[in-house]
Amino acid sequence: MAFQPRPNHPYAHAARFPEGADVSIDDVFRAVPAASGDAAGSADAAGTVAAPGGPVEIEIGPGRGGFLFERAEAAPEARLLGLEIRLKWSAIVDERLRKRGFGARVRALNADAREALRRLRPDGGITRFYLHFPDPWWKKRHHKRLVMSPDLLDEIARLLKDGGELFVQTDVEERAAQYAEQIGAHAAFEPAGDAPGSPELAENPFNARSPREHRAIEDGLPVTRLLYRRKPRG
């Protein structure tokens, strides 16, 4: 569960992933800051809700939002959602997105993605998921915090449309092997990398980079990029 701040917390106004057992994509883009006092969907708080029907892409753990801003510029037809567990950064990034004029179709909401995705509907409604440089959580007692898990992959598989994509990046060799093993073992995914039968990509094909990817490239660090495609249902 995402952190629940006191009313006087400096980021108590942050927009959060909506409550409820079944949350639609449109509900998500109507989420407004709690302090605004406006009803969901208010143009003053969140901008006009983007028209349904365009591709929807989700970034798990957008942090300071660098990728969301670059992707918003590169893919003006897409609706983008960042699910960020850290209240401070979800609030700051969502506000900056609105000030930049992206608020109608690009949001950063406070949520634990592992919990939020279980409630998101409809099945098959998402075009692409991004997971950029997730925290490796080296200590054994922290392994339960690792975002990648069979349960998360089940939810991603449920939400992706047939042919939808899962893109994962890391500069940690051990975690790259772990992610490839976990995703490769899931029946819903097939590798979609540069070579047949491989998930690995030499380059990021989405015209947008996270701050961590920019730093890794500048420092000459190797980055493992994995791309998987959702197999057709039935």
pLDDT at 214 over 90: yes
Does residue 9 or residue 73 have the better pLDDT?
73
Relative orientation angle of helices 211-218 and 66-74, to the nearest 10 degrees: 100
Q: Any idea which residues carry the catalytic annotation?
A: 135
**Would you list which residues are annotated within the binding site for substrate?**
139, 171
Percentage of the chain beyond pLDDT 90 is 69
Q: Which residue has the higher pLDDT, 2 or 151?
A: 151
How many CA atoms, within 13 angstroms, populate the side-chain half-sphere of residue 134?
A: 26
Q: Where are the domains of the chain?
A: 23-230
Output the pLDDT for position 104.
Answer: 87
Angstrom distance (rounded) from CA 182 to CA 109: 27
pLDDT at 134 over 90: no
Query: Has domain 23-230 been given CATH number 3.40.50.150?
Result: yes
What is the structure's pLDDT at 163?
A: 99
Dihedral-angle region of residue 163 (phi above 0 means left; psi in -120 to 50 means alpha; beta otherwise): left
Q: What is the pTM of this model?
A: 0.86
Task: Work out the average pLDDT over 149-167.
Answer: 97
Binding residues: 59, 84, 112, 135, 139, 171
pLDDT at 213 over 90: yes
Residues 6+ apart with CB under 8 A from 202: 194, 225
pLDDT given at position 14 = 74
Binding residues for S-adenosyl-L-methionine, by number, are 59, 84, 112, 135
Answer whether residue 36 shows pLDDT above 90. Answer: no
Instruction: Give CA–CA dist 83/213, Å, rounded.
Output: 19
* pLDDT higher at 161 or 30: 161
Confidence category of residue 101, pLDDT binned at 50, 70, 90: very high
Spatial CB neighbours of 106, under 8 Å, sequence gap ≥ 6:
68, 72, 79, 80, 81, 82, 97
